[in-house]
């Protein structure tokens, strides 16, 4: 059975997350409905990362099996026509045998944007968390460094049913201003005021539910001076969700 890969991006503002769920609008539901109309049959999508309600994706990967070979170029044009401005399908192509967007992924990377400017910019408020205060970047990077490596992240996330909260973070860090590989986006959101953004970048093979946004919330508490950076390893060692209950807003991710 041939398998096809979809490379896409989306603005998550108007969706209740990626996953299809009866009675609510989801990214998966919109794409599967468009594929069904195009192919004349329902096809289940697999995805590299199931995003929560309000979370965006600059480069998401999905895949689906087809009963027979399809004309990928025709299906791609059809999806682009039907899905509208919130979902952009960059490519659709045949994938290697056995490819599955979820299980074939070797790394997942996330970025979170925080605006420190005193007044918010309404043109970027859909995807930037406006804090309106200057945060201690060095302390936040000290906190983020504690996330790197293998840890039990039970203090920062919830496991899936029957799952584990043990994860290995490959890299994590904050910077103020431009992000490598994101020049167009950063130039747009920095604006003419010269006031940049705080950008959190983190990579791992897999994350558990709300893990990235919990990391951000904890780092912000450190950046505000509410929690010492030296306390972050202790919080992780507690393996207790009550030790760090904060979750950053979805729209900044």
How far is residue 105's CA from residue 26's CA, in Å, rounded to a whole number? Answer: 22
CB 180 within 8 A of CB 111: no
Spatial distance between the Cα atoms of 144 and 138, rounded to a whole number of angstroms: 10
b/e burial code for range 232-248 (CB count within 10 A of at least 16 → b): beebbeeeebebbeebb
Helical H segments across the chain, by residue range: 27-39, 72-83, 137-145, 183-190, 211-223, 232-238
Dist. CA 83–CA 85, nearest whole Å: 7
Counts of helices then strands in the chain (DSSP H, E) = 6, 9
Residue 108 · residue 91 · CB < 8 Å:
no
- Catalytic residue flag (residue 221): no
Phi and psi torsions of 81, nearest 5° = -70, -40
Three-state DSSP state, 220: helix
Catalytic: which of 7, 52, 100, 240?
A: 52
CA angle 48, 176, 58 (to 5 degrees): 25
Contacts of 120 (CB under 8 A, 6+ apart): 130, 132
**Which residues participate in catalysis according to the annotation?**
52
């Amino acid at each position: 059975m041939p398998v096809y890969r979809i490379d896409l991006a989306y603005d998550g503002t108007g969706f209740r997350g990626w996953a299809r769920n009866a009675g609510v609008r989801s990214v998966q539901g919109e794409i599967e409905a468009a594929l069904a109309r195009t192919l004349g049959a329902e096809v289940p999508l697999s995805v590299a990362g199931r995003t929560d309600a309000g979370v965006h994706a600059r480069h998401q990967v999905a895949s689906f099996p087809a009963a027979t070979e399809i004309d990928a170029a025709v299906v791609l044009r059809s999806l682009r026509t039907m899905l509208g401005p919130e979902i952009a399908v960059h490519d659709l192509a045949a994938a290697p045998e056995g490819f599955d967007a979820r299980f074939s992924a070797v790394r997942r990377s996330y970025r979170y944007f925080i605006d420190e400017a005193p007044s918010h910019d309404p043109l970027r408020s859909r995807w930037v968390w406006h804090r309106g205060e200057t945060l201690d970047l060095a302390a936040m990077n000290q906190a983020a460094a504690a996330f790197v490596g293998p840890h039990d992240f039970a203090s920062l996330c919830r496991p899936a049913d029957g799952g584990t909260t043990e994860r290995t973070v490959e890299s994590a860090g904050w910077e103020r201003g431009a992000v490598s590989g994101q020049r167009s986006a950063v130039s747009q959101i920095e604006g003419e005021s010269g006031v940049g953004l705080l950008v959190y970048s983190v990579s791992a093979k897999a994350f558990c539910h709300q893990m990235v946004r919990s990391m951000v919330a904890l780092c912000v508490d450190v950046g505000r001076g509410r929690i010492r950076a030296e306390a972050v390893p202790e919080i992780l060692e507690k393996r207790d969700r009550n030790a760090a209950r904060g979750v950053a807003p979805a729209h900044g991710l």
